Amino acid sequence: MSINRSEEKSILTKPPSSNKALHEPLLINSKTSDDESEDLLTGGNLQTYNTDNGTFNTPRAPKHDLKSTTRVIYVNDHVANQPFKFPKNDIKTTKYTYLNFIFKNLWEQFHRFANCYFLVIAILQLIPTLSPTGQFTTFIPLGMVLIFTMMKDAYEDIRRRYSDNITNKRIAHVLRDGAFVDVFWKDVQTGDIVRVCNKEPFPCDLIVISSSEHQGICYIETSSLDGETNLKIRRSRHETMDMISPNVLENTRMTLESEKPNNRLYKFEGTLIMHNGKKLSLDPEQVCLRGSSLRNTDFIIGIAVFTGHDTKLMMNTKETPHKTSRIERMTNKLVLLVLALEITLIVICDICLMIWTANNGKMWYLFKSFTVNANEVAWIGFKGFWTFLILLNNLIPISLYVSIEAAKLVQGIIISKDLQMYHEDTDTPANVRSSALNEELGQVNFIFSDKTGTLTENKMDFMKCSVAGELYGTGVTEIALAAAKREGKTIVDNRPPHVKNNPNFQFYDERLTNGVWQKGASRAVIEDFLRLLAVCHTVIPERGKGQEIIYQASSPDEAALVKAAKYLGVEFIARTPNEVTIRLSGVDETYQVLDIIEFSSDRKRQSVIVRDPQGKLILLCKGADSVLYPLLKQPQAYGDITLKHLEVMGTEGLRTLLCAKAYLDEAEYEQWHREYEEAKTSLEDRTAKVESTAAKIEKNMELVGATGIEDKLQSGVADTIYELGNAGIKIWVLTGDKLETAINIGFACDLLNSSMSILIVEGHTYSDIKEFLETSLNAANNAKESEDVLGLVVDGERLHSILEDHTLREVFLQLAVKCKSVVCCRVSPKQKADVVLLVKQNVDSITLAIGDGANDVSMIQSAHVGIGISGVEGLQAANSSDYSIGQFRFLKRLLLVHGRWSYRRVSKLVLYCFYKNSILYLTQLWFVFFNGYSGTSIHDRWTIGLYNLVFSCMPILVLAVLDRDVPATVAEKFPELYYQGHKNAFFNARVFVGWIVNSIFHSLVCFFVPFFCLVGAKFPDGQDIDTYSIGIVVYSCVLVVITIKIALETSSWTWMHVLFYIGSLLSWPLFIFIYGSLFYAFRFPYPVLKEFYDILQEYRIFLTPHFWIVLMVTVALCCLRDVFWKFWVRIQSRKLYYEVQAAHDKKSREEIMQHFPFEEGLPVTIKRKKRSPLEAQNLKKFFTNITKPGEYRGFAFSQTENQQNLISEYYGDKETK
């Protein structure tokens, strides 16, 4: 709002202020006294003003003590601050720089054992006497693998850099040379004087020195920092609140002493030393943190105290971690297992070689200068070991990791292009920032979710109310819609379109709206109800530019109630510290405010004592039904029906309050008022005395009504949570909100319900908390099916005690995993991350964290998979996440569809890569037994090198990118299919061994059938079919078998499947023809081209009947077994998965599910050893007597304390002016 100052001056050059005339204060009126002019920083760069000659005196700059617990910042003095090397204000979430990319990326790639392994093989192949497969058959594929991975990592890091630039190049308004100019966020420096306008986020941590509001007050929203939706108030020191003009700010020298950068969001200690040497203490009330934003205030001016990675927000975040999926971790172990098997085979072959050499070393055609003795045999064995290692090296697939990377990259592109996850309102598609975790999305056990901005819209809507036994309001909440959908019912929202689309007020009931209530029989009671809403609050009304009233409220609940009263006909128009004015039917009514008894989490109610225009003393009160209802006169005419209405509203997820009033006796009030004033000034147990005194007047009240406010859920949240629950995923909500708000949103999202036993962790000491947790755990351990009925709620204070102690952590975790859902409230960003790590490190499960604010970054980075909500609260969470989406509801499709598909696809890809390599390279092993263990290859070196890169790579990539075992709609319709990921159904030790055994069988058939059929056979011209020709037949059999195998594994067919499956087969004979024809095309006399000529001679094997007969017999023996096995498994194993695949388009979900009760997933297991259980207690009795909430009536109210002092201070300054 505009303010009056004594001398007008312009504030800014850009951007223009909102028609503000702001004035310079008179800062120095006379010479400073000796005390004031003393330099309080010994030797400091403190500039003092000399009023005799109008100049500043600048002493010598001090040396900064790096070991000090504080640091010195010279305000608006870059030269003086330069030696301290404060960090820049840019934020980096990238993993690489332009200079270190190649080296760091190669370093990371060679952390993969397989890459190191193949590098050793490539080096060994350079030794001609050791390599039976040529010198570059590993170097070239390895180089291509490294380059491709490098390109993929560069692409993903460039996208991160682009997102960082969006944040770093936001505009900030910084004082430069006597005027505020626009600079990028990244160019803001520590000590700068920054101007932040309404609705703008703070570019760094700022110390507020002035604002456009009275008393230097400003309102900030911290929902992206701590999850709280209510506005918070910050204020400058009185000594600086008039420092508005750029000229004054430019010429005023100040020094700031502050604490060192730390991660404590709610604590700050500092001192601002003015130009005259006066010290001003600073605390959190003067600090606006990066991650929050300015609201309902035209502008503030502040000093940049922490920038960049020194900000408290970034101190709560971690370096972007390198994450690997469960399948990749298991694959790394399988690589070691296969290597061990390979070494075993090599040792066996080497032993056979030495035995064969010792027995056959004197053959005339071998070893012309060879003498059979132990040393020579050992030397042959030594060289033979490396030869066999090179020969069999590709039992570990060299294309494995690059195939995984390529498939995941394309999977990520498909996810990003999915229009079903595109949020049109914010123009936000899904974004894959780390495709390495695609399959992890298909195995999630736990979801840790922020509340504000993730589950809710951070918007409060007045939806329903109960007055005189009548329930008003026809609006339908998200939870009501989701509940009706689950029950197969349809609820129609009968509100007119103009009401549903009104951003300010969406309540509708034809009995109340448009002033209809003023003509009805219930006018008096409704009028009393609306009066209470318009008078009983701490809202501050201000005039906007068009003289419209803007309600400034730290409590979003109070703002919603006051707006409701206004739109229904009772408008709150003005207030002073001692009066509230409302307007009813065009007539102004002024109420004298005598006392405000503030809301607290213990009292759960708020009261205002007023004197109405007729002089009557009235107590107006609103609060929780559990607290307020016992304070009413009994009986109440509409008491029972009102409680039922509260239950209805609570069931629909509304935040409810009960409203009451009482007429007071003058004498009784005067006596009570004296006691109350004494209690407020008491030096001992002030809070307890205030609350006990307040309770003396809050009694014998009359019921006025009840309210229901919707903390509006994001679209589709309730349905998404329900479906994810059916998929076996447990959801934990981690929020900075208060206990009641957290419980309310738990009910609104159907995470909690009245049929559950709600465990609210209690106790203030270690022993109390331990006793509660152990008692609850043992009761749960000895109850049947307790997992379906338990909900756990814990606040940040008790969670801190739990996380600090090993014993409490263990007991808490064992209890928490037994609960259907867990709600953690009043938690800090660090506690969010610690909770995620507690589960991640101690439970055999996959964790996912999702949030939209900067306070969620640590949690997102700590989980196995991090999801950022982008488009509303900025990009900090999205930039630090592995995946970003526009709304929480898209998580359902991301997990149940893309996650499940990716898990199955990547599983098939890994298994198939081991399978196809085992088949080919085991044929090399079998040939060893027929060539004197010489290590000679049955296949040409180029066909070996191109096997993984050309002939067998594309079919599996097509399957890994496009295959769908069930359509997307079916995957969403049957979330129970997601249990396959929990059970590791597609990738586990048993499945892997099955594929390897199958590959051994296939390799035996592919080698021995052609070998025994063709050895001794002849070409039509009478020449013997030689070894290389047999090798071509074996190679051809392998290619056909692995192609048919992947065809059998394919569930959905497209033209791309057909193209690449058949194309890979046809590429083999085409390659042989082109390969051999090069001799005639170039006629170069190089030896390698002579091999081309030899290969051309072998092309004629394709024209013989031997080839086709052997091929058909081999393929039939291999593949018919697989066909019959799959057929047998489907007949014998009656599973939901097979039934859905077969009948999803013929039967409804209900028809299918009636034969398959809800599949229970594998229970999550604690990695640590469980404690021995205590003696069992009766669960039903324990929960009913201690923790069960009974009928849930939805109480929740958010209010900042000490609002009365704020009102007095705010209007006190106005009156003075």
Query: What amino acid positions are annotated as catalytic residues?
Result: 450
Contacts 24+ apart (CB under 8 A), 28-34: 28/275, 28/276, 32/276, 32/277
Q: How far apart are CA 1058 and CA 1060, in angstroms?
A: 6
N-term to C-term CA, the chain: 15
Q: 1160 Cβ partners below 8 Å, 6+ apart?
A: none
Read off φ and ψ for residue 481, nearest 5 degrees.
Answer: -65, -45
Distances (CA, A) of 718 to 184, 287, 482, 484, 849: 40, 37, 6, 11, 18
Which DSSP state fits 788?
Answer: G
What is the token pair recorded at 1012? Answer: 């025994």
Q: 502 Cβ partners below 8 Å, 6+ apart?
A: none
Q: How far apart are CA 655 and CA 463, in angstroms?
A: 10
Q: How far apart are CA 587 and CA 571, in angstroms?
A: 10
Q: Name the residue type at position 793.
A: V
Q: How far apart are CA 795 and CA 188, in angstroms?
A: 37
Which DSSP state fits 664?
Answer: -
Q: How far apart are CA 922 and CA 1007, in angstroms?
A: 9
What is the token pair recorded at 331? Answer: 């694959």
Distances (CA, A) of 1008 to 379, 751, 1038: 31, 61, 12
**What secondary structure does DSSP assign to 1119-1165, as a single string?**
HHHHHHHHHHHHHH---HHHHHHHHTTTS-HHHHHTTSPPPPPPPP-
Q: How far apart are CA 157 and CA 101, in angstroms?
A: 10
**What secondary structure does DSSP assign to 119-169, as a single string?**
HHHHHHHTSTTT-SS-SSTTHHHHHHHHHHHHHHHHHHHHHHHHHHHHHHT
Cα 1170 versus chain centre, distance: 30
Beta bridge partners of 235: 217
The answer to the question of whether 545 is labelled as a binding residue is no
The answer to the question of whether 852 is labelled as a binding residue is yes
The answer to the question of whether 737 is labelled as a binding residue is yes
Read off φ and ψ for residue 1171, nearest 5 degrees.
Answer: -70, 150
The answer to the question of whether 51 is labelled as a binding residue is no
Q: Where are the alpha helices (DSSP H) in 947-1054?
A: 953-962, 968-973, 979-982, 989-1014, 1027-1049
Q: How far apart are CA 1023 and CA 1033, in angstroms?
A: 17
The answer to the question of whether 283 is labelled as a binding residue is no
The answer to the question of whether 451 is labelled as a binding residue is yes
The answer to the question of whether 599 is labelled as a binding residue is yes
Contact 19, 2 (CB under 8 A): yes
The answer to the question of whether 655 is labelled as a binding residue is yes
Secondary structure of residue 783 in the 3-state scheme? coil
The answer to the question of whether 1156 is labelled as a binding residue is no
The answer to the question of whether 735 is labelled as a binding residue is yes
| The three-state (H, E, C) secondary structure of 416-457, written as one string | HCCHHHCECCCCECCEECCHHHHHHHHCCCEEEECCECCCEE
Secondary structure of residue 691 in the 3-state scheme? helix
Pairing state between β 702-713 and 730-734: unpaired
Q: How far apart are CA 467 and CA 482, in angstroms?
A: 27
Q: How far apart are CA 85 and CA 89, in angstroms?
A: 12
The answer to the question of whether 826 is labelled as a binding residue is yes
Distances (CA, A) of 531 to 561, 570, 621, 935: 11, 7, 12, 96
What is the token pair recorded at 452? Answer: 């504000």
Neighbouring C-beta atoms of residue 121, cutoff 10 Å = 22
Task: Indicate the annotated binding residues.
Answer: 450-452, 558, 599, 622, 655, 735-737, 826, 832, 852, 855-856
Task: Indicate the annotated binding residues for ATP.
Answer: 450-452, 558, 599, 622, 655, 735-737, 826, 832, 855-856
Task: Indicate the annotated binding residues for Mg(2+).
Answer: 450, 452, 852, 856
